[in-house]
């Protein structure tokens, strides 16, 4: 697993993808920070985080689209499958590599609250819980991305489908209110990742929410492993 | 005792893709230290079988045992004993050769001196000069060697090479074959190919597969004898042909005479002698006395090409016949 993690993390920066992801994130986040907080003189941490969420929404599919699709497209999956590692290790290694690159941008983004602490007085608990929520929320989105990447050989298709799915999940709350059927409402509720993020932003660390995100991630990673394993039998 | 002798045992292996049987109930063994040629036309099921042995895909039925371990029960142990070079070498083009091999080393969880081990393998397949080159910039021949190096990492007991010389130029083919022969001295190798010289150049034994079924399994010599008939000879001669035929029929050891071509002064004859007898002395003596010259006298053993075509075609022919019958029946309805 460590070997796959290392290779995957490195390959983000052997190709332009890693640089584009981190670079574009920094550029956009700084721009939003300057216009939304510095210029308007508001020390409201939640404005900053919702801006960052929108940036990730557009960028995260870039991070996950190649993870498994590329291996299959270039037939390098045969190397991984014939090596003495389990599919779970392969998937986990890749997922953690994507999370690590995501983590770089999280580290970089610490600069924004730092600036706010210098010039204003935001609530520390809100900042910390927002970051925890952030990692869980996008960890869940990335698990959806890696699942979609396992479904196809084409990075392009994986990228577009992931973006569409993230967009759908992001705005799923809109549908929830207009659907009448209680069962459908409940199912939609399972995917309403963003609905639970609000608590974190308000500085509330609810164990139920944490477990929800962790199980969401678990389910999608499990599905990813199953899809790859099933393909060996078809 | 036999299980100990066999590095690889395949028993009743099948793989179905829907209604299509890619591999149909095949069984074979490979002994320790043997180089086995896995021969068959394109689409015969060679790659599928190899993928199953390596655990890349699962079989629909049957078992695969590598050094006494079942692939399904102990996949990790089996995979650590196998080095696999698939038809398309699984290379990451944006890595350097050294970087790639070092990743494979970590991936296979090999535990000995990493630097020494990788350097030894690069030396063996002669890619040491390329170790800091990007894989995407290497020629096809070097890419193939890096693929081979990858399979060798961890000193696996069994090597599975899927068409290792495909797409290489003649010089590279000879070089890769020599490398395979070199590493085959200590290891068990299964080598798939549809190039026949390759089999005669490197393999101890052949398994021929066609349409997912094994059609022959033998040593090269055994295969030639079984299909060609080792007591058959082709004789070409010049001189009084009628006289020559009389002489031939008077020799007791000759059991069968078939004339394939004849005129007044020249003839080509297919002879069959009694097993373990020798007719060459009698022939030369009798012909010499009567002024008949032997222009050619050779064993009628089939070449590997002829055997291959004979074995794989007869199968195809039978199936085509069946299909024809089916379509005829359909048209009758």
What digits encode the pLDDT tens for the residues B17-34?
888 888 888 898 898 888
Strand B61-66 vs strand B213-219: parallel, antiparallel, or unpaired? unpaired
Q: DSSP character for B136?
A: G
Whether the CB-CB separation of B74 and B66 falls below 8 Å is answered with no
Block residue for tokens 């639970």: A196
Query: What residues contact residue B206 under an 8 Å CB cut-off, 6+ apart?
Result: B36, B37, B38, B39, B199, B216, B217, B218, B219, B220, B223
Using CA coordinates, name the residue in chain A closest to B81: A84
DSSP run (H or E) holding B268: strand B266-273
Residue B324, pLDDT score: 54
Alpha carbons A44 and A37: distance in angstroms, whole number: 7
State the nearest Cα–Cα gap between B98 and chain A, in angstroms: 13
Taking an 8 Å cut-off on Cβ atoms, the answer to whether B107 and A82 are in contact is no
* CA separation for the pair A155, A157 (Å, rounded): 6
Would you tell me how many other CB atoms lie within 10 Å of the CB of residue A192? 17
How is chain A split into domains, by residue range? 2-231
For residue A22, the model assigns a pLDDT of 93
Q: What share of chain B is helix, strand, coil (3-state, %, to 5)?
A: 40, 30, 30
Q: Read off the pLDDT band of B213 (50, 70, 90).
A: confident
Provide CB contacts within 8 A for A87, sequence distance 6+. A81, A225, A228, A229
Nearest Cα to A48, choosing from A196, A201, A174, A167?
A201
Whole-number Å distance between alpha carbons of B246 and B257: 11
d(CA B284, CA B292): 9
Is B58's CB within 8 Å of A232's CB? yes
Measured CA to CA, the distance from residue A86 to residue B273 in angstroms comes to: 60
Q: How far is CA A113 from CA A25, A44, A76, A131, B122, in A?
A: 16, 10, 42, 11, 51
Residue showing tokens 């399994």: B217
Pairwise CA distance, residues B117 & B105, whole Å = 9
Instruction: Give me the sign of the Cα torsion angle A145, A149, A151, A156.
Output: positive
Strands of the sheet containing B35-39, edge to edge, are B82-85, B158-162, B188-193, B35-39, B205-210, B213-219
Q: Convert B75-114 to b/e letters by CB count within 10 Å (16 or more is b).
A: beebbbbbbbbbbebbbbeebbbbbbbbbbbbbbebeeee
Q: Give the mean model confidence (pLDDT) for residues A112-132.
A: 85
User: Are the beta carbons of B105 and B154 closer than 8 angstroms?
Assistant: yes
What's the rounded mean pLDDT across residues B199-205?
A: 84
Residue B84, helix vs strand vs coil: strand
**Residues A34-43: what's their mean pLDDT?**
78
For residues A198-217, give the mean pLDDT: 89
For residue B4, the model assigns a pLDDT of 55
Asked whether residue B222 carries a pLDDT value surpassing 80, the answer given is: no
Q: Could you give the C-alpha distances from B68 to B13, B153, B185, B261, in angstroms and in order?
A: 16, 21, 21, 56
- pLDDT tens track for B155-197: 999 999 998 888 788 888 888 888 888 888 888 999 998 777 7
Size (chain B), residues: 333
pLDDT at A152: 93
Confidence class for position B1, pLDDT limits 50, 70, 90? very low
Task: Identify the pLDDT of residue B2.
Answer: 44
> Which band of pLDDT confidence, cut at 50, 70 and 90, is reported for residue B3?
very low
| B-chain residue closest to A229, CA distance | B57
Residue B316 has pLDDT above 60, yes or no: no
Strands B61-66, B6-17: pairing kind: antiparallel
- What mean pLDDT do residues A16-36 have? 90
Predicted local confidence at residue B328, as pLDDT: 52
Closest chain A residue by Cα to residue B78: A84
User: So what's the pLDDT on residue B168?
Assistant: 81
Cα distance between residue B253 and residue B249, in whole Å: 9
For B63-96, how does the pLDDT look when each residue is reduced to its tens digit (9 = 90+)?
A: 898 888 888 888 889 999 999 999 889 999 989 9
Instruction: Give the H/E segment covering residue B22.
Output: strand B20-31
Q: How much is the pLDDT for A198?
A: 82
| Chain B residues in contact with A6 (beta carbon < 8 A) | 103, 106
Q: What's B96's DSSP letter?
A: B
Q: Where are the alpha helices (DSSP H) in B153-261?
A: 170-183, 196-202, 220-228, 241-250
Q: Give me the half-sphere count of Cα atoms (radius 13 Å) on the Cβ side of residue B159.
A: 30
Write down the ipTM of this complex: 0.87
Q: Quickly state the pLDDT bin for A38 (edges 50, 70, 90).
A: confident
Q: How far apart are CA A36 and CA A47, in angstroms?
A: 7
Task: With CB atoms and an 8 Å threshold, state whether B95 touches A14.
Answer: yes
Domains of chain B as residue ranges with CATH: 2-226 (3.40.50.300), 231-299 (3.30.70.3190)
Site from B90, B103, B156, B158 to mutate, A interface, most A CB atoms within 10 angstroms: B90
Q: Which of B154, B201, B194, B158 is closest to B179 using CA atoms? A: B201
Can you read off the two tokens belonging to residue B142? 């070097």
User: How many CB pairs below 8 A link A and B?
Assistant: 74
Q: Determine which of A8, A76, A78, A230 to mutate to test the interface with B (most B C-beta atoms within 10 Å).
A: A78
pTM for this structure? 0.82
| Interface of chain A toward chain B, CB-CB under 8 angstroms | 2-4, 6-7, 11, 14-15, 74-86, 232-234
Mean pLDDT of the A44-67 span? 86
* pLDDT tops 80 at residue B232: no
Q: Name the β-bridge partners of B63.
A: B11
| Segment A124-183, tens digit of pLDDT | 888 888 899 989 999 999 999 999 999 999 999 999 999 999 999 888 877 777 888 888
Strands B205-210 and B35-39 come out as parallel
Q: Which two tokens stand for residue B228?
A: 């060609």
Q: Mean pLDDT of all residues in chain B?
A: 83
CB atoms within 10 A of CB B253: 16
Percent of chain B with pLDDT over 70: 89
Over residues A17-29, mean pLDDT: 93
Question: Cα A137 to chain center, whole Å?
Answer: 7
Report the gap between the CA of B34 and the closest CA in chain A (Å): 22
Contact B183, B159 (CB under 8 A): yes
* pLDDT of res. A12: 92
Closest to A75 (Cβ–Cβ): which among B77, B90, B150? B90
């Amino acid at each position: 697993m460590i070997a796959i993690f290392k290779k995957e993390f490195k390959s983000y920066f052997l190709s332009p993808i890693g640089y584009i992801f981190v670079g574009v994130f920094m550029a956009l986040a700084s721009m939003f920070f300057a216009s939304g907080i510095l210029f308007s003189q508001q020390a409201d941490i939640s404005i900053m985080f919702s801006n960052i969420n929108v940036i990730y929404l557009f960028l995260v599919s870039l991070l996950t689209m190649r993870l498994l699709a590329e291996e299959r497209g270039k037939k390098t999956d045969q190397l991984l499958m014939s090596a003495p590692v389990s599919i779970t290790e392969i998937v986990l290694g890749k997922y953690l590599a994507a999370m690590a690159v995501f983590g770089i941008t999280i580290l970089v983004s610490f600069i924004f609250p730092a600036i706010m602490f210098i010039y204003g007085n935001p609530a520390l608990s809100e900042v910390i819980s927002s970051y925890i929520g952030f990692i869980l929320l996008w960890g869940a989105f990335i698990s959806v991305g890696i699942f979609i990447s396992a479904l196809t050989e084409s990075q392009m298709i994986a990228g577009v489908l992931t973006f569409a799915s993230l967009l759908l999940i992001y705005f799923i709350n809109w549908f929830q209110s207009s659907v009448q059927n209680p069962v459908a409402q409940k199912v939609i509720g399972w995917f309403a990742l963003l609905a639970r993020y609000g608590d974190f932003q308000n500085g509330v660390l609810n164990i139920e929410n944490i477990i929800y995100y962790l199980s969401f991630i678990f389910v999608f990673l499990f599905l990813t492993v199953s899809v790859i394993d099933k393909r060996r039998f078809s | 005792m036999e299980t100990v002798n066999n590095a690889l045992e395949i028993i009743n292996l099948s793989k179905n893709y829907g209604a299509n049987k890619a591999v149909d109930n095949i069984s074979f063994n490979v002994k320790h230290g043997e180089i086995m040629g896995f021969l068959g036309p394109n689409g015969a099921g060679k790659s599928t079988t190899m993928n199953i042995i390596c655990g890349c895909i699962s079989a629909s039925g049957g078992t695969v045992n590598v050094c006494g371990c079942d692939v399904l029960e102990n996949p990790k142990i089996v995979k650590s004993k196998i080095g696999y070079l698939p038809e398309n070498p699984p290379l990451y083009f944006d890595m350097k050769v050294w970087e790639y091999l070092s990743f494979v080393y970590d991936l296979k969880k090999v535990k000995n001196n990493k630097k020494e081990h990788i350097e030894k393998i690069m030396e063996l397949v002669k890619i040491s000069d390329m170790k800091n080159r990007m894989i995407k910039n290497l020629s096809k021949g070097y890419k193939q060697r890096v693929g081979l190096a990858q399979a060798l990492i961890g000193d696996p007991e069994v090597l599975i090479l899927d068409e290792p010389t495909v797409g290489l130029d003649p010089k590279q083919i000879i070089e890769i074959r020599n490398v395979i022969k070199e590493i085959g001295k200590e290891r068990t190798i299964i080598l798939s190919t549809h190039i026949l010289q390759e089999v005669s150049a490197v393999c101890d034994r052949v398994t021929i597969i066609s349409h997912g079924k094994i059609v022959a399994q033998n040593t090269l010599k055994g295969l030639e004898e079984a299909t060609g008939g080792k007591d058959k000879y082709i004789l070409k001669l010049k001189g009084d042909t009628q006289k020559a035929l009389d002489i031939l029929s008077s020799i007791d050891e000759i059991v069968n005479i078939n004339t394939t071509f004849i005129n007044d002064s020249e003839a080509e004859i297919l002879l069959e002698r009694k097993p373990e007898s020798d007719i060459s002395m009698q022939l030369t003596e009798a012909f010499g006395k009567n002024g008949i010259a032997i222009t050619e006298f050779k064993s009628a053993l089939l070449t590997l090409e002829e055997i291959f075509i004979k074995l794989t075609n007869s199968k195809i022919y039978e199936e085509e016949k069946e299909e024809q019958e089916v379509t005829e029946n359909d048209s009758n309805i």
